[in-house]
Amino acid sequence: MATEFEVYEHDVLVIGAGGAGLRAAIEAAGSCSVGVVCKSLLGKAHTVMAEGGMAASMGNVDDRDSWKVHFADTMRGGQYLNQWRMAELHAKEAPDRVRELEKWGALFDRTKDGRILQRNFGGHRYPRLAHVGDRTGLELIRTLQDHGIHQGIKFYMENTVVSLVKDGDRVVGAFGYDRERGRFKLWRAGAVVLATGGIGRAYKVTSNSWEYTGDGQALAYEAGAELMDMEFIQFHPTGMMWPPSVQGILVTEGVRGEGGILVNNQGKRFMFDDIPDNYKSSTADKEEEGWRYVTGDKNARRPPELLTRDHVARCIRREVKAGRGSPHGGVFLDISWIKEKVPNAPEHIRKKLPSMYHQFKELAGIDITTEPMEVGPTTHYMMGGVRVDPDSQMTNVPGLFAAGEVAAGLHGANRLGGNSLSDLIVFGKRAGEHAAKWAKENGRGTVDQAALAAAEAASLKPFEFGGAAENPYRVQHDLQELMQDNVGIVRVEEEMKFAQDQLQLLKDRAAKVGISSHREYNPGWHTAIDLRNLLLVSEAVTMCAIERKESRGGHFRDDFPAKDDAYASFNLIVKKGEDGQMVMHRRPIPPMPDELKQVIEENK
């Protein structure tokens, strides 16, 4: 056994303490010893930023809703590249997972008869999102956190994992350091659950926090796991545009769900101009009908502002490119207009969208009850990630599980708003359950000390170069600009090829970044370590984006603007090749059972 590191032992180790990680930990803690490692303090994970709600077909507001409609909506939104089995499990299990939260103390907004209220959201046929004003993510994470601390789970806050520990093929733990003192630690575990979230920090304009550096994807990749659908990144249509320091911060889709409209600088509601064919039958063609929809008229169709995120984001970009944008390169999102329809509208808006009201008031000096907001697309969510078994959430590496944003499959080419929070709790639970089972059946395994020493040496490299060497913040900044400009919301071959070349140069620079001072709580060092992960996922994204020569969901190619059926039957997979280089292949989508095909047909 190693003596130079602090060593901790658990049956299940969860990496990440957002919604998926906590839900997995709670599930596993029911039957075994669980540790949770997280980069930040408990309760600060990016889940707190989720605003709109969590999708579950409880049918409290519209009883025509059912798992079948939810399943069909999810598949349509994902352009049928989703792992159908995950979409099926998700749609079936989400209602129970939401009700369970209430048992643990969550307080959702209520219907008049006292049940959980559900709201409309883009791409969902019926009002389906259980919510708490516009801070549903905070409610989710606080509920899980406060339930979790009484389950005997051991939390390792402000600890970062730098590599997974393997015994032969299987994963038997994780190796990392604590931020406070910079000392290395080994967590031995029978099974490891990755719940590290996304990769938003690879981009300049993002709604994601600093933690979103693709750690889970990179750790899994290095351990031999397959990454899938990496080309599909969701650019949320409405991020803040001004002032510069807040650029990218999310403006919830709930604003549009409550009646907010998108207009260009000519005052035109441009979303009516471009409604995709497969949504024509379910989208309003008159403003008046759209308003009836957001006020709860079951017979009205949804306004085009509530089309899927990929589509809305591209429409906004089109307006801006055509010179019809707002002064700071976005468009206008206006909720204040509802004063024509609603008595006491300012009060209503503050009640329904309290944190949006404060966000604009305090960060931009704008009162959203009287003036429009300036919004534009922002990097928001990674549909792709680690490929997992739909039922157990285990990756192709034995003992390694993944859940939440870090895992791929549920959302296909584009995620529907509200499906993310329910994804966390549905598959978080499944990952926890199966990880516990696996750990009990397979025991701990042995640890290769040499690999740990190598990982430690690699992590400490920046100190050897010292403060005069390459600055990690600079490299990160340049990477973000590169990805933003060349592998962003609209992609073309030559730009991505350029990015591919540049990434190699950035890798070289990253290998030489230096750090002064000591290891204790040194954010420059932390940034240097995160860089490796960011570069790796950026490379994967670029490689897949070049390969998919069509436009679908979150992936839009200016040189191939149409959907191509030739690309409809497979997912792209990358993994580490024998020679250590990244390799890619196409994985056919497993055939869908006839019952599910029929469900999709019925809900077209």
- Give the residue numbers marked as catalytic: 236, 256
Instruction: Tell me the sheet residues that pair with 206.
Output: 379
Query: CB-wise, 155 or 332, nearer to another protein?
Result: 155
Contacts with 285 (C-beta within 8 Å, 6 or more apart), sequence order: 272, 275
CB of 158 to another protein, least distance (A): 9
588 strand-pairing partners: 570
Nearest-CA neighbor of 140 among 355, 419, 422? 422
The number of angstroms, rounded, from the C-alpha of 87 to the middle of its chain's C-alpha atoms is 16
Place of tokens 């994780």: 174
* Nearer of residues 371 and 558 to another protein, judged by Cβ: 371
Shortest distance (Å) from residue 301 CB to another protein: 28
What's CA 589's distance to the chain center, in Å? 22
Strand pairing category for 34-37 and 154-156:
parallel
Residues at the site binding another protein, with contacts judged by CB under 8 A: 40-46, 48-49, 99, 102-105, 107-110, 113-116, 132-133, 135, 138-139, 142, 146-147, 149-150, 155, 157, 180, 209-211, 242-246, 249-250, 355, 358-359, 362-364, 467, 471-474, 477, 515-518, 520-525, 527
Rounded CA-CA distance 352/375 in Å is: 19
Shortest separation between residue 89's beta carbon and another protein, angstroms? 20
Q: Annotate 4-58 with DSSP letters as a single string.
A: SSEEEEEEEEEE--SHHHHHHHHHHHTTS-EEEE-SS-TT-SGGGG--S-EE---
Q: How many CA atoms lie within 13 A of 446 on its CB side?
A: 5
Q: Compute φ and ψ for 528, nearest 5 degrees.
A: -60, -40
Rounded Cα–Cα distance for residues 181 and 166 (Å): 25
Pick the closer one to another protein by CB: 474 or 497: 474
With 0-12 CB in 10 A as exposed, 13-18 as middle and 19+ as buried, what is 446? exposed
Minimum distance of another protein from residue 262's CB (angstroms): 21
In angstroms, give the least distance from the CB of 485 to another protein: 20
In the complex, what is the shortest distance from the CB of residue 211 to another protein, in angstroms, rounded to a whole number?
6
